[in-house]
Amino acid sequence: MILSETPRRIMLTKLVTWGHWFTLTNIVVALVIAGIYVFASPLPDSLLGITFLLVNWVSHIGFLTFFAFVILVLPLIYAFPKSRFIRGAASTIAALGLALLAFDALLYTKYGLHLNFGSADLIKSETQPVINAFGWQQWGFLLLLFVVWLSFQLILANALWKRIERLQKFRLGAPISSLFVVCFVCSHALHIWADANLYQPIVKQDNLFPLSYPATAKALMSKYGLLDIENYKQRKALQFDRSVHGVNYPVKPVYCSININKRLVLLIQTDDTELNLQNSSLTAYNNHYDLSSNQHSSQFSSLFGLPEIYTSELANKTPLMLELPQKLGLPVYLYSDLSLENDKLTALNSGFDTFAKASISDKPKLAVGFVSAENIQQLIASGVLDNNQVIISKLASNRDDIQQVPLYANFALNKTLSSHLDFPATVLENLGCKALSDDYSIGQPMQSPRRNWVVGTKGSKVIVMQNDNRIEVLANGSYKIFDRQTGEESIDSLNTGLLSQAIKHLMHFY
């Protein structure tokens, strides 16, 4: 009894109570900041998915904030029970923690990844140019912003301390704790069920919040006969969510000028006959790929700069690569000896004689042709290289594997890795359009690439390439890593930061 009435004991009780109220207030602030993750991602298309999103949002962010209080602030209260020190230390910790949460939320919005050791190299490479461009004004502004944020935390801490006796009269501990516990249990129970049934509206939210490790119970369920683990693995390996609805193409209106005096010809070979390009002004470029699963998908990707999963949604759209120059006054010619599975493209398709006459002329135009090797040789013999800037490539012949395809140009390209998805951005930049290629393509201009990796789809697989690695991954997370040169399976560890960013980039037209 005497111990409970000592000044130290009274101060400890008061500080712990204050700490709970301070933490609760910051949980609300953290939930508001974490709303960035929620609104930056597509809303689940089922009521169960939305329910999981809400309970996971409340429970996970609440847990992270309370856990930070338990391991960082509570020990300080018992070690140094001085009110001013505790208020200052807790305010500093809260300000730093919530600032990190806000930075992580912005990072997730832009790149689709969280702060962790796996994404450190990618974050450094992406942010280094921005940091290097900072002057003392920008650093001063950031410092001032943090001082303002820290001041808010100090004001909040002091306001709660002055009112702690009044707040102690409110018996809110049990109902608030019960709310968070119920949300916590519901979120993990829903995820266990969703993981066992591969229910995508919930499983796809696994990486939404930072430090999120939702519960799974496959081994336990399999042990008691509630889950056929082999059947589960087979279904997971074969599953890929290819449903695409509500595509925005382009993502935003594209405004740029076009040099209507340009003469550019893009030729893509459709057969397997070997081209003879010796003694020509063309330069050969390595590390170029056709990632699509068939010729028509390759044709679509070359014209739209988008992977084949978007094909059905854009069946009645005109590629921006053709539409923009045409509307701005540059004559556009299209020819394909493959059928064009798009009414708008069929209307643009001309006969080969018309296409060839326009291509070899010295008049301004954009000419895009899917032609045979014989036709390419004919155009070269007729002088197409003399009067025009020309790009020549080829559709892949072996679709069972992913191998390089030829790429030639009679003007300079400054690229390491590239694919057919880069053609629209390359063409439009060559014509003088300076609009951001991410607004209309997942590719990038080969004259001035911003990324050192390539992403695309091939059937049920997402393909990501960087340096010497090729990652083949399904939407459920099953993956294999191959050596890009030899095609042999690699033992390199998965770069999860790169993979997350690449898939987010792949889907940003949803």
Quick check: 354 and 369 in contact, CB under 8 A? no
> Do 148 and 36 share a structural domain?
yes
Examine the domain organization and report whether 281 and 427 are in the same domain. yes
The answer on 185 and 277 residing in a single domain is no
Residue 243 belongs to some domain of the structure: no
- Residue position matching structure tokens 């930072």: 210
Q: Do the Cβ atoms of 335 and 352 come closer than 8 Å?
A: yes
Residue 249 lies in a domain: no
Q: Is residue 471 in some structural domain?
A: yes
* Per-residue buried b or exposed e for 422-451, using 16+ beta carbons within 10 Å of the residue's own CB: bbbbbbbbbbbbebebbbbbbbbbbeebeb
For residues 8-19, one letter each, b for 16 or more C-beta atoms within 10 angstroms of the residue's C-beta and e for the rest, the string is eeeeeebbebbb
* 257 occurs within a structural domain: no
Same domain, 273 and 232: no
pLDDT at 233: 55
Structure tokens at 321: 């690569």
Neighbours of 127 (CB within 10 A): 13
Domain count, the chain: 2
| 441 and 381 in a common domain | yes
Work out the number of other CB atoms within 10 angstroms of the CB of residue 88.
16
> Which two tokens mark 305?
């700069």
Note whether 284 and 429 are same-domain residues.
Answer: yes
The residue out of 222, 238, 254 marking a domain boundary is 238
**319 and 220 in a common domain:** no
174 within domain boundaries: yes
Best CA proximity match to 86, nearest among 154, 166, 39, 3? 154
- CA atoms lying within 13 Å on the CB side of residue 360: 14
**What's the burial of 245, exposed, middle or buried (CB within 10 Å: 0-12/13-18/19+)?**
exposed
Measured distance CA(361)–CA(185) in Å, rounded:
71
The answer to whether 455 touches 301, Cβ cutoff 8 Å, is no
Q: Is residue 248 part of a domain?
A: no
CB atoms closer than 10 angstroms to residue 288: 22
Q: Which of 329, 188, 207 is nearest to 257 (CA)?
A: 329
Q: Is residue 477 part of a domain?
A: yes
Q: Give residue 142's domain range.
A: 3-238
Does the residue 143 lie in any domain?
yes
Query: What pLDDT score was predicted for residue 239?
Result: 47
Residues 191 and 61 in one domain: yes
Consecutive 10-residue runs of the chain (510 residues): their mean pLDDT? Answer: 65 88 93 90 84 92 92 90 91 93 85 72 68 76 88 92 81 82 90 77 82 67 54 49 66 89 95 85 92 90 91 86 93 91 84 92 94 93 92 89 91 92 96 92 92 87 89 71 86 77 80
Give me 266's structure tokens: 């893009």
Q: How far apart are CA 322 and CA 52, in angstroms?
A: 44
Structure tokens at 474: 């399904």
Per-residue pLDDT, 270: 93
Q: What is the CATH number of the domain that holds 313?
A: 3.40.720.10
Strands of the sheet with 365-371, listed across from one edge: 283-284, 407-409, 389-394, 263-269, 365-371, 332-336
> Cα separations (Å) of 81 from 22, 85, 89?
16, 8, 12
In terms of domains, do 227 and 285 share one? no
Task: Please indicate, yes or no, whether residues 267 and 133 belong to a single structural domain of this protein.
Answer: no
- Cα(412)–Cα(133) distance, integer angstroms: 28
Do residues 461 and 332 share a domain? yes
166 with 292, same domain?
no
**149 is written with which tokens?**
């944020």
Query: CA-CA distance, 134 to 125, in Å (whole number)?
Result: 15
| AA letter at 439 | D
From CA 86, how far away is CA 19, in angstroms rounded? 9
